[in-house]
Amino acid sequence: MMRTLLKIMAIFLSISACQNNAGSGGNKAGRVLYTDEGYSYVIHNETNGNPGQVNDHLFFHAQWRNGNNIIMSTRMGPGQQVRHLQIPADQSKLSSLDKVILSLAEGDSATVTVPLEGQESVPPGFENATEMTVDFMMVDIQTDQEFQAERQKEQQGLEALKSRIISRRPAVADSLKAIIADYKAGALEDQIQTAPSGLKYLIMRKGQGGPALKGRNTFVNFYGMLPNGQRIDDSFQRGLPFGFALGSNQVVQGWNEGIGYLNKGGTAILFVPPDLGYGATGSTNVPPNAELIFFVELFDIQ
């Protein structure tokens, strides 16, 4: 799959230019074709490869445009979510767009024009449009055997990751307890930084990967305690990083701020004051007006 990803950006950028170059060559590339429902479409960059067969798994990118304005795209926003379609034996109920996708080989791209006049409802962003343009780029085609083998390999990798994370739990807990003891004794005053918000943080490792940015899907290994050493919660017990959108209300404000100081692979201790934590009301395992102390490790950003 990775061998085609580098082609995708260049091909999507070239789609608009290709639309004006429809020709009448011996293959389908550049020619205006029509679906059974009368939707027109143009295939770009035809590789002359083989489209998928029944039970094959198709992985493709898509973007929906109102004129030149991209309304939605699998390549926009946090992460890049390639779409997946398994080719069914009975294709009679497939949509026109699905049928265009089925005609593409790996590396092919296509643009479909969908008329909207007379439609009872239209997608958001197309309220005043007469047509919707959809661009597709086929990233990969796998047989069902290849698909199942890859899923099994991914599952094995996930289980190995869970084992590694769980095995670190005792050492992380002991280390955090020692840091809390030093913090209460005043031994970390020259190492701890204090933000204008009142958040205190100790950067243990800045990290070498990309920075944590607001709105991005962020995955964190963490262990949380109260100042008395009582455990609040931790992801190490579950063996999987905790995921959330940085800057959202999914986590306490102290996390949104503190994790933003890290790059991928970085670790820190966050000393979260009550007003950046659970405040005067507290929460499960957290009494009112409690300071929260977390070990956090920025595992991944998408």
pLDDT in tens, 7-17: 434 444 344 43
Average pLDDT over residues 60-89: 85
Strands in the chain per DSSP E: 32-34, 40-44, 57-66, 69-73, 83-86, 109-115, 131-142, 193-194, 200-205, 217-225, 231-234, 242-245, 267-272, 292-301
**Residue 136 sits in the same domain as residue 242:** no
Q: Residue 216 is part of which domain span?
A: 168-301
| Residue 151 DSSP one-character state | H
**Residue 60 sits in the same domain as residue 103:** yes
Residue 4 pLDDT greater than 90, yes or no: no
**Residue 137 sits in the same domain as residue 179:** no
CB-CB contact of 105 with 50 (8 Å): yes
CB-CB contact of 109 with 12 (8 Å): yes
Average pLDDT over residues 96-108: 92
**Residue 138 sits in the same domain as residue 185:** no
Q: At which residue do the structure tokens 């992460």 appear?
A: 79
Instruction: Tell me phi and psi for residue 49, to 5 degrees.
Output: -80, -175
| Residue 135 DSSP one-character state | E
| Cα 149 from Cα 157, distance rounded (Å) | 12
pLDDT of residue 6: 37
| Domain contains 153 | no
**Residue 15 sits in the same domain as residue 123:** yes
| Cα 155 from Cα 161, distance rounded (Å) | 10
Which has the closest alpha carbon to 250: 259, 238, 237, 240?
A: 259
**Residue 116 sits in the same domain as residue 206:** no
Q: What is the CATH number for 202?
A: 3.10.50.40
Which has the closest alpha carbon to 50: 118, 121, 104?
A: 104
Instruction: Tell me phi and psi for residue 55, to 5 degrees.
Output: 80, -5
**Residue 103 sits in the same domain as residue 173:** no
**Residue 121 sits in the same domain as residue 200:** no
Domain count along the chain = 2
pLDDT of residue 155: 93
| Domain contains 163 | no
pLDDT digits (tens, 9 = 90+) for 186-228: 999 999 999 999 999 999 999 988 888 888 889 999 999 999 9
| Cα 272 from Cα 194, distance rounded (Å) | 10
**Residue 8 sits in the same domain as residue 135:** yes
